[in-house]
Amino acid sequence: MKTIIIANWKCNPTSLKEAESLFSSVRGGIKNSENVEVVICPPFAYLPALLKDPKALIIGGQNAFWEDKGAFTGEISPPMLKDLGCQYVILGHSERRKYFSEKDEEVNKKMKAVVSASLKPILCIGETQEEREKGETKKVLKSQLQKALYKATSYKLQATSFVVAYEPIWAIGTGKACSSEEAEKVAVFIRKILADLYDQDTASQVPILYGGSANSQNAQSYIKEANLQGLLVGGASLEADEFIKIIETVVEK
Ligand code: PGA
């Protein structure tokens, strides 16, 4: 299984010129991406321009609607992303849940639509600081997974067709990354839930990523020590040099 390093640019940068410059710096700076799949998820508006010449980079969306087309002002559908050349789509990110009131049930509909369009969902799950303090992490993650994957098997949501990103909300953008020990324990738990939903063998094939203040200093610990299959990188992916360093430390593993 290749290590997957995903850049989540969120709502950045504010011009196509900057987006193209960041993209080409990353693309040109990666010397060796053997065994690493590098995925860039820019804002929708920049997708066509960046997809013109992605070279070895893979491109993904940051969200997608659950219907293919119709009267849904402002939405972008999975077939549209597929048609442009995207391969991945981030779903259920905590910022979508928080600022756009996205519910697990909607994430479930999106998961099915994205997989039906032959795109790979990156399913984000994670607990808040408060839930963590109350000892509710496992309960929250179990519920998010079960709901997002509800009736998944009957919708061809095979375990090999998606990626799970454990993104503790308290670690996102705070500089307080989760320790590799804790991330490893959570990943073992996530795999157990996946085994209950599918089976042991299938669960073992789902890549589990970590996200939340990941940077070039801590990147290796998640891959090497916590046995995770990749990273979802926000802030640190907006600086080409830092993002390239993350890829390099992971290739070195
Ligand atoms: P961060 O964001 O790396 O800036 O913490 C990660 C994410 O939200 O995907």
* pLDDT digits 0-9 by tens, 97-128: 999 999 999 999 999 999 999 999 999 999 99
CB 216 within 8 A of CB 245: yes
**Residue 179 DSSP one-character state:** P
| Tokens encoding 15 | 């011009």
The finding on whether 92 has its CB within 6 A of some atom of ligand 1 is: no
Q: At residue 87, does pLDDT exceed 90?
A: yes
Q: Is the CB of 234 under 6 A from ligand 1?
A: yes
Whole-number pLDDT of residue 75: 98
Residue 29: pLDDT over 90: yes
Pairing of β 208-211 and β 163-166: parallel
Query: Is the C-beta atom of 211 inside 6 A of ligand 1?
Result: yes
Active-site residue numbers? 93, 167
Spell out a b/e string for 10-30, using b for 16 or more CB atoms within 10 Å of the CB, else e: beebeeeeebbebbeebbeeb
For 180-209, the pLDDT digits (tens) are 999 999 999 999 999 998 888 888 999 999
Q: Please tell me the predicted confidence (pLDDT) of residue 156.
A: 52
Task: Determine whether the shortest distance from the Cβ of 207 to ligand 1 is under 6 A.
Answer: no
pLDDT greater than 80 at residue 25: yes
With helix as H, strand as E and coil as C, how does 98-122 read? Answer: HHCCCCHHHHHHHHHHHHHCCCEEE
Residue 210 dihedral angles phi and psi, to the nearest 5°: -115, 145
SS3 call for 124: strand
pTM score of the predicted model: 0.96
Q: Quick one: which atom of ligand 1 is closest to the CA of 233? A: 3
> Residue 155 pLDDT more than 70?
no
Which of 1-5, 7-11, 57-61, 156-160 has the least mean pLDDT? 156-160
* Mean pLDDT of the region 81-105: 98
Quick one: which atom of ligand 1 is closest to the CA of 213? 5
Query: Would you say 63 and 9 are in contact if contact means Cβ atoms under 8 Å apart?
Result: no
Ligand 1, atom 7, residue with closest C-alpha: 234
* pLDDT at site 103: 98
CA–CA dist 163, 207 (Å, integer) = 5
Do the bridges between strand 58-61 and strand 230-233 make them parallel or antiparallel, or are there none, so unpaired?
Answer: unpaired
- Provide the 8-state DSSP code for 81: H
* Cα 199 to ligand 1 centroid, rounded to whole Å: 30
How far apart are the CA of 127 and the centre of ligand 1, in A?
14
Q: Nearest-CA neighbor of 20 among 66, 68, 53, 56?
A: 53
